[in-house]
């Protein structure tokens, strides 16, 4: 009986929400969202000098990673404008919605992974080739393609040399142990927080 009551209440709320959306009277799909500015300017960590890569390569990689804004997604707190300086490039506990929260009550969420070379939680076991491939064409070892939330389509014109410098720099960072939450599929409720990027076009008024 109690469950039936709950069910009825839920369907009533759903009808109410749909009703509002249909006639657009006072329905605000952004009501549950807060507008924030992501942090885009912060110093990239120094790489540890290594016999495998030249100083020029590591400096170039650090410059490129700062310029391409990898840390704005792959650093805790950066997506919400509050960078955790002790976890630079070590992944984000705040995810990014890849399906529209206006359409899905529970959108799909991806959590930008740890890019430091920690063996368990980061890129410690990744080969240089795998990293270069991920940066240039968004594919993993098994040729499965990452969602374009990771903006690999924007990096498609990067030269092999620059992609290699980025990979060398990431491989030479101090490993930081930090496990990001697992990605959440569309329709499942996410326990960890997430942001949503969007461009909204005005609708015709008549
Ligand atoms: C707009 C946010 C964003 C930016 C900017 C970004 N990434 Fe990502 N990246 C992601 C997300 C989200 C994933 C996870 C994608 C998935 O699970 O399909 C990811 C995945 C990756 C992976 C795969 C790691 C793994 O463990 O699977 C690598 C490597 C990577 N990014 C490197 C970079 C580098 C290098 C840059 C800068 C040149 C960069 N990313 C910029 C969001 C971003």
- Tell whether the model's pLDDT for residue 12 goes beyond 70: no
pLDDT at 6 over 50: no
Pick left, alpha or beta for residue 72 (phi over 0 → left; psi -120 to 50 → alpha; otherwise beta): alpha
Taking the CA of residue 69 as reference, the ligand 1 atom at the shortest distance is 5
Give residue 56 CA to ligand 1 midpoint distance, Å. Answer: 24
Q: What is the distance in A from the centroid of ligand 1 to the CA of 150?
A: 4
Between 192 and 204, the higher pLDDT residue: 192
Could you tell me if the CB of 113 is within 6 A of ligand 1? Answer: yes
Q: Give the residue-averaged pLDDT of 24-41.
A: 82
- CB of 151 sitting under 6 A from ligand 1: yes
Please say if the pLDDT value at position 22 is more than 80: no
Measured distance CA(81)–CA(65) in Å, rounded: 18
Above 80 in pLDDT, residue 17? no
- What atom of ligand 1 comes closest to residue 96's alpha carbon? 12
Q: Which of the residue ranges 50-59, 102-111, 144-153 would you say has the lowest mean pLDDT? A: 144-153
Has residue 114 got a pLDDT over 50? yes
Among 63, 68, 74, 155, residue to substitute to test ligand 1 (most atoms within 8 Å of Cβ): 74
Residue 15 pLDDT more than 50?
A: no
SS3 for the chain is CHHHHHHHHHHHHHHHHHHHHHHCCCCCCCCCCCCCCCCCCCCCCCCCCCCCCCHHHHHHHHHHHHHCCHHHHHECCHHHCCCCHHHCCCECCCEEECCCCCCCCCCCEECCCCCCCCCCCCCCCCCHHHHHHHHHHCECCCCCECCCCCCHHHHCCCCHHHHHHHHHHHHCCCCCCCCCCCCECCCCCCCCCEECCCCCCCCCCC
Ligand 1 site, residue 195, Cβ cutoff 6 A: no
Protein residue closest via CA to atom 40 of ligand 1: 70
Q: Residue 2: how many CA atoms within 13 Å on its side-chain side?
A: 0
Strand partners, 75: 91
Q: What is the pLDDT of residues 68-80, one digit of tens each?
A: 999 999 999 999 9
Q: How far is the CA of 112 from the centre of ligand 1 (A)?
A: 6
- pLDDT at site 206: 77
Does the structure show a pLDDT above 50 at 2? no
User: How close is the Cα of 25 to the center of ligand 1, in Å?
Assistant: 39
pLDDT for the residue 16: 35
The b/e string for 5-21 (b: 16+ C-beta within 10 A; e otherwise) is: eeeeeeeeeeeeeeeee
Q: Cα(165)–Cα(175) distance, rounded to whole angstroms?
A: 18
Residue nearest to atom 14 of ligand 1 (CA): 112
> What pLDDT is stored for residue 24 in this prediction?
53
CB 155 within 8 Å of CB 139? no
Q: Is 146 in the pocket of ligand 1 (CB under 6 A)?
A: yes
């Amino acid at each position: 009986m109690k469950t039936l009551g709950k069910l009825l209440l839920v369907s009533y709320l759903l009808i109410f929400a749909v009703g509002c959306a249909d006639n657009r009277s006072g329905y605000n799909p952004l009501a549950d969202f807060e507008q924030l500015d992501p942090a885009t300017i912060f110093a990239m960590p120094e790489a540890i000098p290594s016999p495998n890569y030249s100083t020029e390569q590591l400096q170039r990689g650090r410059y490129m990673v700062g310029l391409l804004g990898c840390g704005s997604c792959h650093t805790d707190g950066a997506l919400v404008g509050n960078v955790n300086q002790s976890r630079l490039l070590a992944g984000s506990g705040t995810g990014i919605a890849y399906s529209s929260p206006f359409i899905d009550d529970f959108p799909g969420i991806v959590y930008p992974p740890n890019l430091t070379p920690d063996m368990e939680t980061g890129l410690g076991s990744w080969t240089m080739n795998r990293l270069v491939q991920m940066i240039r064409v968004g594919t993993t070892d098994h040729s499965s393609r990452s969602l374009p939330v990771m903006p690999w389509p924007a990096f498609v014109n990067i030269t092999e040399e620059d992609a290699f410098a980025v990979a060398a720099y990431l491989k030479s960072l101090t490993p930081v142990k930090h496990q990001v939450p697992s990605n959440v599929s569309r329709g499942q409720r996410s326990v960890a927080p997430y942001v949503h990027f969007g461009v909204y076009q005005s609708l015709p008024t008549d």
